[in-house]
Amino acid sequence: MTEFYGYERPDGSVGVRNHLLVLAPIDCSYEPARRIAEQVDGAVAITQHHGCGLHWMVAHNLIGVASNPNVAAVLIFGLGCETLNADVIEEGLKPTGKPVERVIIQEEGGTLRAVEKGVRLLRGMAEEASEQRREAFPLSKLTLAVECGGSDATSGMAANPAVGVAADLLVDEGGTVIISEPQEMIGAEEHLARRAVSREVAEAIREMVARQVRRLEAMEVESRYMSRGNIEGGLTTIEEKSLGAVRKGGRRPIQGVLENSWNGLGRPRGGGLWLQDGTGWDIASVTHMVAAGAQVVAFTTGRGSTVGHAVAPVIKITGNPDTYRRMEDNIDINAGIIIEGGESIREVGERIFRFIVQVASGRRTKAELLGYRDFAVFKRDRAAERLLGFP
Amino acid sequence: MKMEEADNVATLLSEVSQGEVVEIVSEEGYVVDRVEALDAVPFGHKIALVDVERGERIIKYGEAIGVASRGIRRGEWAHTHNVDSLRLPERG
C-alpha cells in the first residue's frame, strides 16, 4: 500500500500542509488581515467579496476552507459590525478541534492595536504548529480535487485521460477524488448517471446538470452549442467535449453528488469518486473542492493556466508539449509527451499519481514556489435560483 | 489515439495527409491497428476505424459522442460534416 506523510489533526483528518489561516469574514478587515499574515511565516490571509450579510453559501465555504486539514490553526480577524461574523465562523470550526483565535478591530480600538494583537496570537500559533511532525498515513486519508482551465485540443486527448488514470489509482488505494464544474458535464450526464452507485445518485447527477442547463437557458446561453475554436480544434459534439472534460475524474463508480448551496456544503462520506455542484470559475471551483476537504489539486491546462490556491498545493499538468516548453516555470508535469509518442496515457498517469503522493508528503508545486495564494468564493444568486424553482 | 476498446474513431496526435498509413495506439501505448487515411485530417481531429452506416453511433471514450449523419468509411475524417450530436440533432 502507498503511504503519504502528513500532519494529523485533532478530528483525525490529515493535512498535507501546515498553514496558518488569517480569515477575514468580510473584506472590510482584509487589508490588516493580509498584513498580519505577511508578518508570520507560513501564514496566509483569505476573505470574500460578497458583502457582510450572512450568505450561507459563502459562510459554509469559508468554514470549509478553514476546516481543511491543510490548515493547522485559524485566526479570525473581523471588523465587528458584520453579520457574517467571527461567531458564525468559530461555531462552524468547533467540530475540527483545531486552535482558533479571534481579534475584532472595533473591540480592540482600531487597526494598530488589532494588528499587534493579531500578530502576537498568530506567532504563538506558528510556534505550536512548527512542533508538529509529518507521519505516514494510508491514501484513504487523502482527497484529490481535479480541475481544468485554459483547455485546448490536447486536454481531452492527453492531460485529462492521464489525470483520470491517476485518479483511478488513488481510488483503488482507498483515496477520494472530487470533480466539479457541472457546466462541463452537459452532454455527459447519462454517462455519469450510468456510473452512479445507486438510482438516487444517478437522479442527483441528472438534476444537478439539468439545473445548470436551466441557468444557462435563463441567461440565454445555448448550452448545446460549442465555440468555433472547439470545432476547429477537432471537437465534433458537446458530448465529446464533456466526456473529455469529465475524463480527468477517472472511470470509477460515482459515490454521490456533494451539495454546495446555502443549505449546506457536502463532504465525501468515504473513498471513491464524488461530483460537486460547483462552478466553472477556476479559482472558486478549486476553493469549493478544498472546502469539501480536498488537500491536493490536480489541474489540467492546455493554454497554460498559472493559478494556485491559498491552502492547497495545485499541480499543473499540460497535454500540450509547446505550452510545457514555453511555461515550464508554471507547469509541473508534461503530459504532452503522450502527443509526441514518448509515453502512453497509462505511463504518464502513473507518473502523475506518484507526483500527487510526493506533493502530499511535502514536495512543493510550481504554483506554491511562485507564491500563488489564490482564493475566491462563488455565490449563487438565491433570488434567481428561487425564480427558477430550485430548492 | 484510441481511448477505449469499443471506440470506432481515433484521435490524431499529428496531422495526416491523404493516403498516409496511421498507427492506432491504445491508452497503454500498444499499436492496435493501422489505418490508411482516406482524407487529409488535421491534428486533434478524428478518423473512423470501421465502416459506419448512417444513423450508427460514433463511439469515443467508450461512449456515444454522436451519430453518423451519412455513411463513413474506415479511414475517413469524422467531424461535423458527417457526425451530428445526439443532443442537438439539427445543426444551427
Q: pLDDT means per 10 residues in chain A (391 residues)?
A: 96 98 98 98 97 95 98 98 97 98 98 98 97 98 96 93 98 98 94 98 97 92 81 92 96 98 96 96 97 98 95 97 96 97 96 98 98 96 92 79
Tell me the chain A residues in contact with residue B29 when contact means C-beta distances shorter than 8 Å.
343-347
Nearest CA among A115, A107, A113 for reference residue A75: A115
- Residue A95's pLDDT is 97
Tell me the chain B residues in contact with residue A245 when contact means C-beta distances shorter than 8 Å.
none
Residue A1 lies in a domain: no
- Same domain as A365, residue A256: yes
Select from B43, B88, B90, B91 the residue whose CB has the most chain A CBs within 10 Å, as the one to mutate to test that interface.
Answer: B88
Specify the CATH number for the domain of residue A56: 3.40.50.2300
Contact B13 A238 (CB under 8 A): no
B61 contacts chain A (CB < 8 A): yes
Cβ neighbours of residue B7 under 8 Å, at least 6 residues apart? B49, B59, B60, B61, B62
Q: Are strands B63-68 and B57-60 parallel, antiparallel or unpaired?
A: antiparallel
Residue A218: helix, strand or coil by DSSP? Answer: helix
Q: What is the dihedral sign for C-alpha A79, A80, A81, A83?
A: positive
Examine the pLDDT at B90 and tell me if it is beyond 60.
Answer: no
Q: What is the separation of C-alpha A203 from the centre of its chain, rounded to a whole number of angstroms?
A: 24
Each residue's pLDDT tens digit, B6-15: 999 999 999 9
B45 contacts chain A (CB < 8 A): yes
- Residue A222's pLDDT is 79
Q: How far is residue A226's CA from residue A349's CA, in Å, rounded to a whole number?
A: 28
- Same domain as A236, residue A114: no
- Same domain as A141, residue A125: no
Nearest CA among B58, B53, B56 for reference residue B10: B58
- Residue B28's pLDDT is 94
Residue A155 lies in a domain: yes
Examine the pLDDT at B74 and tell me if it is beyond 90.
Answer: yes
- Residue A274's pLDDT is 98
Give residue for cell 447527477.
A205
Q: A109: which DSSP letter?
A: T
Residue A374 lies in a domain: no
Cβ neighbours of residue A207 under 8 Å, at least 6 residues apart? none
Q: What is the mean pLDDT of chain B?
A: 93
C-beta of residue A13 within 8 angstroms of C-beta of residue A72: no
Residue A379 lies in a domain: no
State the angle between helix axes of A30-38 and A111-129 in degrees (0 to 180), rounded to the nearest 10. Answer: 40
- Same domain as A163, residue A32: no
- Same domain as A160, residue A80: no
C-beta of residue A130 within 8 angstroms of C-beta of residue A73: no
Q: How far is residue A38's CA from residue B4's CA, in Å, rounded to a whole number?
A: 50
- Same domain as A101, residue A55: yes
* Cell numbers representing residue B46 in the block: 478524428
Tell me the chain A residues in contact with residue B79 when contact means C-beta distances shorter than 8 Å.
231, 234, 236
Tell me the chain B residues in contact with residue A185 when contact means C-beta distances shorter than 8 Å.
none
- Same domain as A226, residue A119: no
| Parent domain of A79 | 19-131
- CB-nearest partner of B63 from A225, A234, A243: A243
Q: A157: which DSSP letter?
A: I
**Longest Cα pair distance anywhere in chain B, in angstroms?**
39
Q: How far is residue B47's CA from residue A85's CA, in Å, rounded to a whole number?
A: 58
Domain finish residue from A85, A114, A131: A131
Nearest CA among A157, A185, A174 for reference residue A348: A157
- Same domain as A191, residue A337: yes
Q: A253: which DSSP letter?
A: P
Contact B88 A240 (CB under 8 A): no
Tell me the chain A residues in contact with residue B61 when contact means C-beta distances shorter than 8 Å.
240, 243-244, 247
- CB-nearest partner of B61 from A153, A224, A243: A243
Q: Are strands B31-36 and B9-11 parallel, antiparallel or unpaired?
A: unpaired
Contact B29 A343 (CB under 8 A): yes
Burial class of residue A24 in the structure, from the number of CB atoms within 10 Å of its CB (0-12 exposed, 13-18 middle, 19+ buried): buried
C-beta of residue A160 within 8 angstroms of C-beta of residue A240: no
- Residue A184's pLDDT is 93
C-beta of residue A231 within 8 angstroms of C-beta of residue A280: no
Nearest CA among A292, A215, A296 for reference residue A255: A292
| Distance from the A173 Cα atom to the nearest Cα atom in chain B, whole angstroms | 20
- Amino acid at the residue B68: A
Residue A61 lies in a domain: yes
Residues of A with CB under 8 A from a CB of B: 153-154, 156-157, 161, 165, 187-188, 191, 224-225, 231, 233-234, 236-240, 243-244, 247, 338-341, 343-347
- CB-nearest partner of A236 from B13, B25, B79: B79
Contact B27 A224 (CB under 8 A): no
- Same domain as A43, residue A154: no
- Same domain as A216, residue A112: no
Domain finish residue from A112, A131, A150: A131
Nearest CA among A190, A164, A193, A194 for reference residue A179: A164
Residue A66 lies in a domain: yes
Select from A194, A195, A235, A237 the residue whose CB has the most chain B CBs within 10 Å, as the one to mutate to test that interface.
Answer: A237
Select from B2, B4, B9, B11 the residue whose CB has the most chain A CBs within 10 Å, as the one to mutate to test that interface.
Answer: B11
Residues in chain A: 391
Domain finish residue from A103, A131, A159: A131
C-beta of residue A173 within 8 angstroms of C-beta of residue A139: yes
- Amino acid at the residue A215: R
Q: Are strands B9-11 and B21-25 parallel, antiparallel or unpaired?
A: unpaired
Size of interface A-B (CB pairs under 8 A): 89
Examine the pLDDT at B89 and tell me if it is beyond 70.
Answer: no
Q: How far is residue A361's CA from residue B67's CA, in Å, rounded to a whole number?
A: 46
Total domain count, chain A: 2
Residue of A nearest to B13 (CA): A339
Residue A339 lies in a domain: yes
Tell me the chain B residues in contact with residue A238 when contact means C-beta distances shorter than 8 Å.
85, 87-88
Nearest CA among A113, A161, A388 for reference residue B11: A161
- Residue A153's pLDDT is 86
B85 contacts chain A (CB < 8 A): yes
- Residue A39's pLDDT is 97
Contact B45 A225 (CB under 8 A): no
Residue A382 lies in a domain: no
B26 contacts chain A (CB < 8 A): yes
Nearest CA among A280, A263, A264, A262 for reference residue A179: A280
Domains and CATH numbers, chain B: 9-84 (2.30.130.110)
Contact B27 A240 (CB under 8 A): no
Q: How far is residue A63's CA from residue A25's CA, in Å, rounded to a whole number?
A: 10
- Amino acid at the residue A10: P
Examine the pLDDT at B92 and tell me if it is beyond 70.
Answer: no
Residue A363: helix, strand or coil by DSSP? Answer: coil
- Residue A268's pLDDT is 98
- Same domain as A157, residue A127: no
| Distance from the A50 Cα atom to the nearest Cα atom in chain B, whole angstroms | 36
- Same domain as A165, residue A97: no
Tell me the chain B residues in contact with residue A191 when contact means C-beta distances shorter than 8 Å.
63
Examine the pLDDT at B88 and tell me if it is beyond 80.
Answer: no
Contact A346 B11 (CB under 8 A): no
Give residue for cell 501505448.
B29
Contact A236 B87 (CB under 8 A): no
Give residue B91's pLDDT band: very low, low, confident or very high (50, 70, 90): very low
